[in-house]
Amino acid sequence: MCYHLYSTLCLVYWFSPGDALDIADLTLVNPDPMVTSSDSSLHCVSSDWTSRQDIVTSSSSSTLGMGRDFPLTHPQSLPVSPDTAYHHASKIEWKTRSDIFGEFYCRARKSDKNQIYTYKMLNEAAFLPESLTITVSIGEDVNISFTRRKVFAEDAVIYKNGKPFSSFIHSVPKNEIPDILVYPVLGVKSSDAGLYTARSIAGAKSTSAITRLIVRKCKPGLWGPSCEHTCPRCSNGGVCHDETGECICPPGFKGHTCETGKNSPSSIRVSLYLY
């Protein structure tokens, strides 16, 4: 989870159900999740098993690509180029702020099921997410929270964003907006998973705060097709994958239970990881 959006590095690590080994050594580095200028970038860093020529745009037939999943109204074709700062890496660089906002991904195969994600929000956002992602197991209760950072004379609204449509789910009158805007979800279901955004009712979509709710299909501590297996004890913030039972380690850790530390890209501070 990331509680420090202004820190040196924000690194995001989450993937949809699939073969965990496909992206075990893939990292998506987001230096500025809260964008304040026209210069912004993303860096997809792979281990040595991926050759440099495999790091290309998502429109190609290669084994690794980068792109945007939300919002769909923004350009999906992005300027991807080799990143020579790392041994095997790719990057996206923007020079204008017009299309920086949204959910971005890097993937290890030509498949929507094996992707890691990060998010970029504009400095004009009226709210900040308490965390860029929230991971819960099915049946748990969770609060989706946003911190108010600007005063505005409009109602606050929360949307759940799916494909191809977004659904309005909650609003707070302008005179009742608290410092922490909370949307509770009780007895989480698989259908509750997805992106949640908050903004003022008259605000543009690009001024939204973004958080993703990730729902494991099993109850806490269990995994498997019928959730019949017991999860290992994952260390250092690792999470038990509900389909493979493997510990999905945050960047900077490896091993069967994420017990071993390793250097993250450039050995710079890691402040966020996703499951």
The tens place of each residue's pLDDT in the chain, 275 residues long, gives 343 444 333 444 444 333 333 444 678 888 888 888 888 888 888 764 444 444 444 433 345 678 888 887 665 667 788 777 776 778 888 877 778 889 988 876 555 556 788 899 999 999 999 988 888 999 999 999 999 998 899 999 999 986 656 789 999 999 999 999 999 999 999 999 999 999 999 999 899 999 999 999 999 999 999 999 999 999 998 889 999 999 988 777 888 999 988 654 433 333 333 44
pLDDT at site 135: 87
pLDDT at site 80: 82
User: Residue for token digits 């964003």?
Assistant: 161
pLDDT at site 267: 30
Say what the pTM is.
Answer: 0.77
* Residue 226: inside a domain: no
- C-alpha distances out from residue 174 to 149, 152, 157, 197, Å: 14, 8, 10, 17
Cα-based angle 194, 55, 239 (whole degrees, multiple of 5):
40
Other beta carbons within 10 angstroms of residue 155's beta carbon come to 15
- From 77, 99, 122, the end of a domain falls on 122
Contact 138, 217 (CB under 8 A): yes
Say which CATH number the domain at 184 has.
2.60.40.10
Residues 143 and 109 in one domain: no
* Residue 202: inside a domain: yes
Residues 79 and 113 in one domain: yes
For 183, phi then psi, to 5°, come to -120, 105
- From 181, 201, 216, the end of a domain falls on 216
Residues 105 and 133 in one domain: no
Contact 275, 214 (CB under 8 A): yes
Residues 133 and 36 in one domain: no
Give the structural domain span for 88: 10-122
- From 99, 122, 145, the end of a domain falls on 122
Residues 33 and 82 in one domain: yes
